[in-house]
C-alpha cells in the first residue's frame, strides 16, 4: 500500500513539474527566441505573460467544471494537450504559431495541478494530507524555478528545438505513467458549485488573492528577465548564464525546506516580512548586477526567496478558504499567474523604456502593493479572531 501511495505521489509530481516546466522553462530561452524570430525581448515575453494570463482566466472556472469528472481521465486529457502543444512548438515556423501552441494548453493547466493536489490529499488520512500535498507542490516549485535553467542549458549546448523537446518528453512520461500505473479515480463526493463559490463572499479571500497577485508580479516580473539581465548587465556568456540559472533553480530545494519550517513556526510573521526580504535582494541586484561573483551569490539567495514566495502564496489563499480545497488551489493558480502576467508585462515596459538594469523598479513597486494587502488581511483576521474570542 505504501509503495502504491509513493508511486502515485511521484507520478503526480512529475506531471505537475512537466506542466510548470512548460510554463516557466521558456524564461531561460527568451533571449534566444527573440533572436531566432527577430523580435524584441519584451515581445518574446508574451510567451510567459499570455500563458500566465490564460491560467489566470481559467484558474477559478476550469477546476469547477472538471470537479465531477474522473480524475485520471481529466489528467490524461490535460497532459495529452500539453504534449501536442509542445510538439507544435518544436516545429513552429513563426512566433504567432509558437504563441498559439503555448496559450491553448495553458487553459487546462489549473485542472491538472488542482486535481493533483486534491488527489494527493485524498490518498492519505486527513492528518497526513498536508505532507502529501507539500510533496506534489515540490513539482510546482521545481517546474517554476528549475525549468528556466534546464531549458537554457539545453538550448545553449544543443538547440532551441531540443530545449522544447525536453518539455515534450517530461509531459509524455507523466502521461504514460498515469495511463499505466494510476487506477481509475472517480469523484466520490462532489462539492456543489455554490458551496465552493461561497469562498468568494469572504473579504479575507479577496485580500489574499490581491496579495498573491502582487507577490508573484514582484517575483516573476524580475526573475522572468533574469537571463536577459545576466546577459546584458553582468555580461556573461550563454553557457555561464545556464549555470547561474541552475544555481537559481537548485536553490528552490533549500527554499522549500525553509518555507515549510517558517510557515509551520509562524506563518503570519513569515508572510508579513517576505516583501522586505525580497526587496533587499532586488536592491543588491541593482547595485551589484555588473559583478559576476557577487551576482552568483545574489542569484542563489534569489532562488531561495522565490521558492519561499511560491509556498507563501499557496498557503495564503488556501488558508483563507480551507472549505473548498480544489477551488482555492485554482484561485491560487489564477492569482499567481495573473501576477506573472502583470509582472512580466510591466517589467517588459520598464526594460523597453529605461533599460534592463531598472527591471527591479517594477518588482519593488509590486512589493509595496503586496505588503499593503498583507497588512490589511492581517488586520481583518485579527479583528475577526478578537470578535470570536469575545
**Sequential DSSP letters for 124-180:** S-TTTHHHHHHHHHHHHHHHHHHHHHHHHHHHHHT-HHHHHHHHHHHHHHHHHHHHH
Residue listed under C-alpha cell 501576477: 339
Sorting pLDDT into bands at 50, 70 and 90, what band is 103?
Answer: very high
b vs e for 104-131, b when ≥16 Cβ sit within 10 Å of the residue's Cβ? bbbbbbbbbbbbbbbbbbbbbeeeebee
pLDDT at 144: 67
Q: Tell me the pLDDT tens digit for each residue of 175-197.
A: 999 999 988 888 776 666 677 77
Average pLDDT over residues 53-68: 83
pLDDT at 386: 62
Q: Tell me the pLDDT tens digit for each residue of 119-128.
A: 877 777 765 6
Task: Domain 2-389: give its CATH superfamily.
Answer: MFS general substrate transporter like domains (1.20.1250.20)
pLDDT at 129: 63
Per the CB < 8 A criterion, the answer to whether 44 and 33 are in contact is yes
Average pLDDT over residues 88-98: 93
Q: Tell me the pLDDT tens digit for each residue of 239-261.
A: 788 788 778 877 877 887 788 77
- Is the pLDDT confidence value at 78 over 70? yes
Nearest to 106 by CA among 333, 390, 290, 274: 333
For the chain, the domains span 2-389
Q: Does residue 66 sit in helix, strand or coil?
A: coil
Longest CA pairwise span in the chain (Å): 66
User: How far, in whole angstroms, is CA 231 from its chain's centroid?
Assistant: 24
pLDDT at 387: 62
pLDDT at 263: 80
- Is the pLDDT confidence value at 133 over 90? no
The residue count of the chain comes to: 390
Which range has the worst mean pLDDT, 35-44, 54-63, 82-91?
A: 54-63
Q: Tell me the pLDDT tens digit for each residue of 16-33.
A: 989 988 887 888 788 889
Nearest to 62 by CA among 17, 20, 107: 107
- Is the pLDDT confidence value at 236 over 80? yes
User: DSSP code of 290?
Assistant: T
Q: Does residue 344 sit in helix, strand or coil?
A: helix
Nearest to 21 by CA among 79, 73, 64, 75: 79
Q: Tell me the pLDDT tens digit for each residue of 326-374.
A: 788 788 888 887 898 889 889 888 888 888 888 999 899 999 999 999 9
CA dihedral sign of residues 44, 88, 109, 62: positive
> Residue 243: how many CB atoms within 10 A of its CB?
18
Amino acid at each position: 500500500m505504501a509503495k502504491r501511495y509513493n508511486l502515485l505521489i511521484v507520478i503526480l509530481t512529475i506531471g505537475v513539474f512537466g506542466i510548470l516546466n512548460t510554463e516557466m522553462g521558456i524564461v531561460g530561452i527568451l533571449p534566444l527566441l527573440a533572436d531566432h524570430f527577430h523580435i524584441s525581448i519584451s515581445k518574446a515575453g508574451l510567451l510567459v505573460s499570455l500563458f500566465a494570463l490564460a491560467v489566470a482566466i481559467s484558474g477559478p472556472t476550469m477546476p469547477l467544471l472538471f470537479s465531477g469528472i474522473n480524475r485520471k481521465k481529466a489528467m490524461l486529457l490535460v497532459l495529452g494537450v500539453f504534449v501536442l502543444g509542445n510538439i507544435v512548438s518544436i516545429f513552429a515556423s513563426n512566433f504567432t504559431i509558437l504563441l498559439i501552441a503555448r496559450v491553448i494548453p495553458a487553459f487546462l493547466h489549473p485542472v491538472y495541478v488542482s486535481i493533483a493536489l486534491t488527489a494527493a490529499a485524498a490518498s492519505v488520512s486527513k492528518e497526513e494530507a498536508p505532507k502529501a500535498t507539500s510533496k506534489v507542490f515540490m513539482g510546482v516549485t521545481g517546474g517554476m524555478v528549475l525549468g528556466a535553467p534546464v531549458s537554457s542549458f539545453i538550448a545553449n549546448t544543443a538547440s532551441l528545438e531540443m530545449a522544447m523537446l525536453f518539455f515534450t518528453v517530461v509531459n509524455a512520461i507523466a502521461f504514460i505513467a498515469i495511463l499505466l500505473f494510476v487506477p481509475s479515480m472517480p469523484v466520490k463526493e462532489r462539492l456543489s458549485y455554490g458551496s465552493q463559490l461561497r469562498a468568494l463572499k469572504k473579504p479575507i479571500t479577496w485580500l489574499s488573492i490581491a496579495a498573491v497577485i502582487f507577490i508573484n508580479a514582484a517575483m516573476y516580473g524580475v526573475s522572468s528577465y533574469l537571463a536577459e539581465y545576466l546577459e546584458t548587465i553582468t555580461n556573461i556568456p550563454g553557457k555561464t548564464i545556464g549555470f547561474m540559472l541552475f544555481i537559481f533553480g537548485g536553490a528552490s530545494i533549500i527554499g522549500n525546506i525553509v518555507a515549510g519550517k517558517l510557515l509551520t513556526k509562524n506563518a503570519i510573521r513569515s508572510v508579513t516580512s517576505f516583501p522586505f526580504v525580497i526587496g533587499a535582494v532586488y536592491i543588491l541586484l541593482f547595485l551589484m548586477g555588473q559583478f559576476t561573483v557577487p551576482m552568483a551569490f545574489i542569484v542563489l539567495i534569489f532562488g531561495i526567496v522565490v521558492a519561499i514566495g511560491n509556498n507563501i502564496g499557496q498557503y495564503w489563499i488556501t488558508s483563507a478558504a480551507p472549505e473548498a480545497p480544489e477551488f482555492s488551489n485554482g484561485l491560487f493558480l489564477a492569482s499567481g499567474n495573473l501576477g506573472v502576467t502583470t509582472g512580466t508585462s510591466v517589467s517588459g515596459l520598464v526594460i523597453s523604456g529605461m533599460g534592463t538594469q531598472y527591471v527591479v523598479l517594477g518588482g519593488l513597486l509590486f512589493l509595496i502593493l503586496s505588503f499593503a494587502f498583507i497588512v490589511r488581511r492581517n488586520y481583518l483576521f485579527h479583528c475577526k479572531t478578537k470578535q470570536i474570542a469575545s
